[in-house]
């Protein structure tokens, strides 16, 4: 009887392969994209002194002039930096690739994922490191991983701080994976939902409990090991939580914690993304380049409240 190895030659499957990719990023969900025609320009900021909310005597006596009021108008700038990476496809790889391997698509997705990862890391670093953002640093029994803490009252206090500063009610709560795990199993949270018929504190249940439109649970990770070393994975968003207001879309005279200026009119781009290929004869290879032009910028710092080190 022939051996199995004699009647079958191993080949690559055409219906299964393994790829390690990050789950959905949240950067565009908390810093909505604003399409711009120029790589660099300015935008207006209305009434930073909040004159709109100042009570002014509007009584006018007959024959007298009405009290005159006005507001200040300022501007700020953006610059959509070029974020680009390239990868090379040697002829030998293309000629020897099994049918399931798609060198051009694989390279394009790989480069786009890496650029999007950097974009996620950048906005996460803004939240973690920008000292101008309102918030507090938790420690000890105030951290939400401690049974004596109370994330419900903490988040309510953050909501009140945002409303007092910018008026729109915050609608987005971001609980990174490690924070989410602690909050959803916190006894005070479980006690609050025990009579709602919801036995498990999912993101949707927590959104109802904390009175927000959505709870985002970012799970993106980054490899911090040196090239050539075993992967060392860390969560991009760490252990910081935050509450913020994000409008349905960025528009004139709106408040948003941050936005992403995207130069969508860059030559050859599609919605601000460029994918280019060319031949490098000296290397007998094709070159793939992926680019994005964008600028992530804090627009209204008071529209966010951050809990640093929310869990131990």
pLDDT, tens digit (0-9, with 9 covering 90-100), for 193-240: 987 766 789 999 999 999 999 999 999 999 999 999 999 999 999 999
pLDDT at site 209: 95
Nearest in space to 235 (alpha carbons), one of 248, 222, 216, 253: 222
pLDDT at site 249: 82
pLDDT in tens, 238-280: 999 999 999 988 888 889 999 999 998 888 777 778 999 999 9
pLDDT at site 6: 46
- In which residue are the tokens 């007092």 written? 164
Is the separation of the CB atoms in 144 and 183 below 8 Å?
yes
Q: How are beta strands 40-46 and 81-90 bridged, if at all?
A: unpaired
b/e sequence 117-146, b meaning 16+ C-beta within 10 Å: bebbbbbbebbbeeeebebbebeeebbbbb
How far apart CA 121 and CA 116 sit, in angstroms, is 9
How far apart CA 262 and CA 256 sit, in angstroms, is 16
Task: Report the run of H or E that residue 221 belongs to, with start and end.
Answer: strand 221-223
How far apart CA 10 and CA 81 sit, in angstroms, is 47
pLDDT at site 257: 93
pLDDT at site 3: 54
Is the separation of the CB atoms in 293 and 79 below 8 Å?
no
pLDDT at site 19: 61
For the chain, list residues with pLDDT below 50: 1, 4, 6-8, 12-14, 17
How far apart CA 195 and CA 42 sit, in angstroms, is 52
Q: Would you state the structure tokens that stand for residue 201, as one six-digit string?
A: 């504190």
Q: Would you state the structure tokens that stand for residue 302, as one six-digit string?
A: 């008071």
pLDDT at site 154: 98
pLDDT at site 179: 97
Phi, psi angle pair for 235, to nearest 5°: -70, 135
pLDDT at site 49: 86
Nearest in space to 302 (alpha carbons), one of 243, 249, 259: 243
- Listed as own residue / partner, the contacts of 155-161 with beta carbons closer than 8 Å and 24 or more positions apart are 155/210, 155/243, 158/243, 158/305, 158/307, 159/211, 159/243, 159/305, 161/134, 161/305
- Residues 6+ positions from 14 with CB-CB distance below 8 Å: 98, 99, 100
- Domain 34-47+71-308 fold is phage-related protein like fold (3.90.1690)
Task: Give helix then strand counts, H and E, for the chain.
Answer: 8, 14
């Amino acid at each position: 009887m022939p051996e199995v190895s004699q009647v079958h030659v191993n080949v690559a499957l055409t219906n299964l392969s393994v790829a390690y990719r990050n789950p959905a990023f949240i950067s565009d969900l908390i810093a909505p994209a604003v399409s711009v025609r120029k790589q660099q320009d300015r935008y207006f900021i209305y009434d930073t002194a909040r004159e709109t909310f100042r009570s002014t005597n509007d009584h006018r006596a007959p024959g007298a002039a009405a009290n005159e009021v006005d507001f200040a108008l300022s501007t700020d700038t953006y610059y959509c930096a070029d974020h680009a990476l390239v990868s090379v496809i040697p002829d030998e790889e293309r000629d020897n690739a099994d049918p399931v391997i798609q060198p051009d698509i694989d390279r394009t997705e790989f480069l786009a994922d890496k650029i999007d990862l950097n974009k996620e890391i950048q906005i996460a670093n803004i939240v973690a490191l920008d000292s101008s953002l309102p918030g507090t640093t938790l420690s000890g029994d105030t951290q939400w991983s401690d049974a004596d803490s109370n994330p419900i009252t903490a988040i309510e206090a953050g909501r009140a701080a945002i409303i007092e500063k910018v008026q729109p009610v915050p609608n987005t709560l971001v609980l990174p994976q490690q924070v989410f795990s602690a909050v959803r199993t916190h006894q005070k949270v479980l006690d609050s939902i025990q009579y709602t018929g919801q036995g498990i504190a999912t993101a949707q249940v927590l959104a109802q409990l904390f009175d927000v439109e959505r709870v985002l649970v970012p799970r993106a990770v980054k490899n911090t090991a040196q090239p050539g070393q075993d992967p060392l994975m860390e969560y991009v968003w760490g252990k910081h939580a935050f509450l913020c207001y994000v409008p349905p879309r960025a528009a004139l005279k709106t408040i948003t914690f941050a936005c992403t200026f995207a130069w969508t009119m860059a030559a050859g781009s599609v919605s601000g993304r460029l994918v280019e290929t060319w031949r490098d004869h000296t290397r007998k290879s094709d070159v793939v380049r992926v680019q994005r032009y964008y600028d992530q910028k804090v627009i209204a710092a008071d529209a966010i409240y951050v809990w640093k080190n929310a869990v131990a």
